């Protein structure tokens, strides 16, 4: 995905095997605004290795059409990821291993690990993978938490611009769009998310939060614009503080900043007429909604 975990995992493997490493970025069509361009720039600037970008958005979105169950979404995405990687491995030839940036919290929430933990949600790179795979998995970060991964990245010399990025789920917007995934709903959430993050950065709140994102809810509400009645979508905003992602508290972003964010979203993004702020902690709520 090109995030913190992928970058650190790639840096570790690159240190071990050099240019035998092939970094494959898969554009699922479920990414944040300008994500593909930013990832490409990062990997090409900081890794003297083979970088390959694959636009598989048509495959992902067609398979997700009409799917509403979050676990089913994750399974579809996990399987499709592996198909794309295996196809690319055949093209490169003599590729045996797939490196993933799986972290310990992914394992804990997906399967019972070293004890009687209950499956909370399947992560696409753990329980969401197909049972039979041609490639052998290497997961160098599997027993680490996010803060430990960032420390490893610093030791490897990765820039703070990469290490300071907020966590982003492998399934991307598929689990931040509750209900059916359509191109229209993706476009709405992508613009909303960009406004939220832009405002957090400009108000010096991005680095004060562990993770911040928007969720598009599967309901519409009545509103008014001018003299006209509207019946449009609801956006949920979520921002939390945490050390390792296992527990989290909602961020106390000042009301005036939240008000500005809400006004911008409603005025700048067609199809949205209501914004709510999630004040749930983990536990009992998970950080992501799905």
- For the stretch 142-154, pLDDT in tens is 999 999 999 999 9
pLDDT over threshold 60, residue 177: yes
In this prediction the pTM is 0.88
pLDDT over threshold 60, residue 220: yes
Q: Tokens 């004890």 appear where?
A: 115
Mean pLDDT of the chain: 91
**106 part of a folded domain:** yes
Q: Which of 134, 153, 170 is the last residue of a domain?
A: 170
Q: Which residues contact 97 (CB under 8 A, 6 or more apart)?
A: 135, 136, 137, 138
Same-domain check for residues 245 and 136: no
Domain count along the chain: 2
What CATH code is carried by the domain that includes residue 32?
A: 3.40.50.620
Strand partners of residue 275 = 235
Q: Which token pair is 136?
A: 């052998």
Torsion 281-284-175-279 (CA) sign: negative
Same-domain check for residues 110 and 252: no
Strand partners of residue 216 = 177, 235
Q: Which of 117, 136, 170 is the last residue of a domain?
A: 170
Q: Cα–Cα distance between 209 and 200 in angstroms, integer?
A: 9
Cβ neighbourhood burial of 15 (10 Å; 0-12, 13-18, 19+): exposed
Distances 200 to 165, 175, 227, 258 between C-alpha atoms, Å: 13, 22, 32, 9
Same-domain check for residues 81 and 208: no
Same-domain check for residues 165 and 202: no
Please tell me which residue, 169 or 237, carries the higher pLDDT value.
Answer: 237
Strand partners of residue 235 = 216, 275
The predicted structure's pLDDT at residue 126: 47
Contact predicate 180/67, CB 8 Å: yes
Contact predicate 282/247, CB 8 Å: yes
pLDDT over threshold 80, residue 138: yes
**283 part of a folded domain:** no
**Integer-rounded Cα radius of gyration of the chain:** 19
- What percentage of the chain exceeds 90 in pLDDT? 77
Domain that holds residue 102: 4-170
Contact predicate 248/147, CB 8 Å: no
Same-domain check for residues 184 and 161: no
Q: Cα–Cα distance between 31 and 37 in angstroms, integer?
A: 11
Note the pLDDT tens digit of each residue in 12-43.
Answer: 999 999 989 999 999 999 999 999 898 888 88
**105 part of a folded domain:** yes
Confidence at 113, pLDDT banded by 50, 70, 90:
very low
The predicted structure's pLDDT at residue 77: 96
């Amino acid at each position: 995905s090109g995030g913190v975990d992928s970058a650190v995992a790639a840096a570790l493997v690159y240190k071990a095997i050099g240019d035998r490493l092939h970094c494959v970025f898969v554009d699922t069509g479920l990414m944040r605004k300008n994500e593909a361009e930013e990832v490409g720039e990062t990997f090409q600037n900081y890794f003297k290795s083979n970088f390959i970008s694959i636009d598989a958005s048509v495959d992902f979105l067609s398979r997700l059409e009409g799917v509403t169950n979050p676990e089913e979404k994750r399974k579809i995405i996990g399987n499709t990821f592996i198909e794309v990687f295996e196809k690319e491995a055949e093209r490169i030839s003599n590729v045996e291993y797939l490196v993933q940036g799986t972290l310990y919290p992914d394992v804990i929430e997906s399967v019972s690990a070293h004890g009687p933990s209950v499956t909370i949600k399947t992560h696409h790179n753990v329980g969401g993978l197909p049972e039979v795979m041609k490639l052998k998995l290497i997961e160098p970060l599997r027993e680490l938490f996010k803060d430990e991964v960032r420390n490893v990245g610093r030791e490897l010399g990765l820039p703070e611009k990469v290490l300071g990025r907020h966590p982003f789920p492998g399934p991307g917007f598929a689990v931040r769009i509750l209900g059916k995934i359509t191109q229209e709903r993706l476009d709405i959430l992508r613009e909303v998310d960009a406004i939220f993050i832009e405002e957090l950065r400009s108000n010096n709140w991005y680095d004060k939060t562990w993770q911040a994102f928007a969720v598009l809810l599967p309901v519409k509400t009545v509103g008014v614009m001018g003299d006209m009645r509207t019946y449009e979508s609801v956006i949920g905003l979520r921002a939390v503080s945490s050390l390792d992602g296992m527990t989290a508290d909602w961020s106390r972003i000042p009301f005036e900043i939240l008000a500005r964010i809400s006004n911008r979203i409603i005025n700048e993004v067609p199809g949205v007429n209501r914004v709510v702020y999630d004040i749930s902690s983990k536990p009992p709520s998970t950080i992501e909604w799905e």
